[in-house]
Every structure is written in C-alpha cells, then in structure tokens.
Amino acid sequence: MKVTVCGAAGGIGQPLSLLFKLSPYVDELSLYDVVNAPGVGADLAHICTKCKVSSYLPANDGLKKSLENSDLVIIPAGIPRKPGMTRDDLFKINAGIIRDLTIGIAETCPNAFVLIISNPVNSTVPIVCEVLKKYNVFNPNKIFGVTNLDIVRSNTFISQLDSTNQSKPEDFNIPVIGGHSGETIVPLFSIGAPQIYSSLSSQQKASLINRVQYAGDEVVKAKDGKGSATLSMAYAGFELAEKIIKLAVQSSSNSTDSSVTACCYINLADSINGAADFKQKLNSDINFFSVPCVLGPNGVTEIDSSILDKINNDESDLIKVSVDQLYPNITKGINFVKNY
Ligand code: NAI
C-alpha cells in the first residue's frame, strides 16, 4: 500500500504524514510539496516503523515520481484561511493547485483513491472529478471530499452536552451530510445521538448546530492569522483514509471482506447504488453531496439513502438550505475546468 501526501510539508500535511508513517497498513509513504518535502521526509524516515518514506519537490518530474504506483493520494495542498476569510475566498489559488495535481494523478496513478482536503471542498471535489473525466479515468467510487472533521467535531461537541457524563466522544458517530462550509454542513444529531439531543432545549440545539457549522472559525480566530485547523484535520483525514486502506488491504490479503459506512462528499453518479434514490429523496438533481457511503475494497459500493427517511422537520429545512448554497459552489468548480 503506497500513500502519497500532496502538500506534505504544510500544517496538515506534516501531522498527517506522521500518522501514515505510524500505520501498520502503509508500506510506502511518498511526500510531495513545493517546499520542504525532503526535510519532512528525512525527519519521518528516522521513526522505527516499517513504512518507507520518500520525498519530492516539483523539479525533475517530482510530482509524477511521487505519484507513481500510489494506491491512495491525499491532498492537503494549498492555502488555508485567515481571520475574516470564507472557504470560498481560497478558490482563486487552490483551484489551480488542485487541477494541476489531479492532472498528475490522471497521468500517473488513475486507479488510486483520491481524498481531497484542500478547501473549498464544495468546489475542489468537482474540479478533481471534471479533470479525471477529461482524461477518461474518472471512477466516482474512489474520489472523496474529506468532510470527516465535521463528524469528529460533532462527536466531540455532543458528548460535552451529555448531562449524565456517561458517554465519551468516541462513542458517537454523528452522520453529517451536505457540504463542507457554514450552512451547507448538516449534522444529524437526532439520528446519531437521539437521547442527548432530545433532552436539549431548542436554543441549545440551534447553538450546537451553529457550533459545528462554524467550528473552523473558532480555530482560525484562536490561531490569529496563522492558519486554520491542522491537527484535528490530520486526525480526521487519517481516520477516513485508514478505513479505506484497511478495506483494500484486507481484500488483497484475502482476509474476510467487510464494509464500513462513512459520510464523505462525493459525486452522486448514477452508477453508484443508491445515488438516484438519495437524490429523489432530496427532491433535487444535485450532483455532489456528503452522504453516508458504504465502503468496500474498491471504494464506495452504495449510498445509504435510508438516512433521509429518519430525519426530522428541522433537519429537512437545514438540508434545503444546504442544497441551495451548494449548487453555485459546484458549478464554480465545474466551470473552472470547462473554461481551462
Ligand atoms: P499550509 O499552508 O500549512 O500547508 C499547505 C501546503 O501546501 C504547504 O506546505 C504548501 O507549500 C503546499 N503547496 C502549495 N502549493 C502546492 C502545490 N502546487 N503542490 C503541492 N503542495 C503545495 O495549509 P494547511 O493548514 O495545511 O491547509 C491546507 C488546506 O486544507 C487548506 O486549503 C485548508 O483550507 C484546508 N483545510 C481543510 C479542512 C477540511 O475539513 N477539509 C480543514 C482544515 C483545512
């Protein structure tokens, strides 16, 4: 299993690479960045785990060399937010970075899983999909926008509201659907933590949802101009990546196949089981959404649309807002590639 981290020398890239170096499922870790990748690589290579580390800068075809034979590519490359910026403000710079990295993936390792962390995720994932389509190597089952930090945060914040103090954050797995910015983020606490959630007042419920939607701002403000979430993001990105890697490794070693469900922002392609059903229940033709994905050794095998049968009226209203706000974000990403 070879993992490549694009943007490996950054605030997210470094702790994320450390977690991969520690994972028993990763044999080779390839680090790519426009600066300082060799330094991060030399540092990580001294850790006494079996995983081999290599590092590359753009010179001498570095991107292609870093991507060669990769099974999974994870992308935290680009600029993060400063106070007062929205994720959409990052589009101008990050869109081009993501497009160029995806061209490298299309030409070098088109069968790899691709996990996109770089913001605005609502638009960068459509960019990746459009580029891969242009190269005729698009497989919607393997392209993931990483929204797992919204789930990690939801699990943490709901556990803090448990008046009985009986639960731990890691006991929860709150489904979070929609997109990855402000009101496009829709945490479904009524499904993931029905008892605690129903004990809250309307005001508490509203402020919990608002906290999840704007949790990134808490970190941006606290870092006071020095970036956005990095450590919690590295944790969240690794958690999702390791689920995908484990399933792939188990299948190639003929161990018992199993599946797990994780909410990820994906292309709701007609070829994915449950996608059409999900869109019908949303009453929308939206093509990108974070949905509960049933994952197998080759990525998404099915979208669990039954979640939409369980939501309450308030959540249904939040979803409508999310869908409306997501449309222009998606179109922006698609048009960026079409006009290139
Ligand atoms: P950072 O600035 O610390 O690191 C970014 C790294 O990308 C730098 O090392 C930079 O040299 C590298 N880079 C720039 N252009 C590149 C290129 N063309 N190829 C390869 N590497 C390149 O930023 P940080 O804090 O690590 O954030 C990275 C991205 O992740 C930002 O877009 C941020 O908004 C996003 N993010 C996403 C989250 C999510 O939940 N999906 C949460 C937090 C941040």
pLDDT digits (tens, 9 = 90+) for 229-238: 999 999 999 9
> Burial letters for 63-95: b for 16+ Cβ neighbours within 10 Å, e otherwise?
beebbeebbbbbbbbbbbbeeeeebbebbeebb
Confidence of residue 291 (pLDDT cuts 50, 70, 90): very high
Query: Using omega within 30 degrees of 0 as the cis cutoff, is the peptide bond preceding 76 cis?
Result: no
Neighbours of 312 (CB within 10 A): 14
Q: Are strands 72-75 and 113-116 parallel, antiparallel or unpaired?
A: parallel
> Burial letters for 47-62: b for 16+ Cβ neighbours within 10 Å, e otherwise?
eeeebebbbbbeeeeb
pLDDT at 337 over 90: yes
70 domain-assigned: yes
Residues 6+ apart with CB under 8 A from 311: 188, 190, 191, 319
Model-level pTM greater than 0.90? yes
The pLDDT of 303-312, averaged and rounded, is 97
pLDDT at 255 over 80: no
The CATH code of the domain that includes 101 is: 3.40.50.720
Quote the domain boundaries for residue 90: 2-146
Helices 148-159 and 215-223: angle between axes, nearest 10 degrees: 90
Write the pLDDT tens digit of every residue in 105-126. Answer: 999 999 999 999 999 999 999 9
259 domain-assigned: no
Q: Probe ligand 1: pick from 73, 79, 128, max atoms within 8 Å of CB? A: 79
Q: Probe ligand 1: pick from 4, 30, 34, max atoms within 8 Å of CB? A: 34
219 domain-assigned: no
Total structural domains in the chain? 1
109 domain-assigned: yes
89 domain-assigned: yes
Catalytically active residues are: 180
Pocket of ligand 1 (CB under 6 A): 6-7, 9-13, 32-35, 76-81, 90, 94, 97, 101, 117-119, 121, 146, 149, 180, 227-230, 233
40 domain-assigned: yes
Write the pLDDT tens digit of every residue in 202-218. Answer: 999 999 999 999 999 99
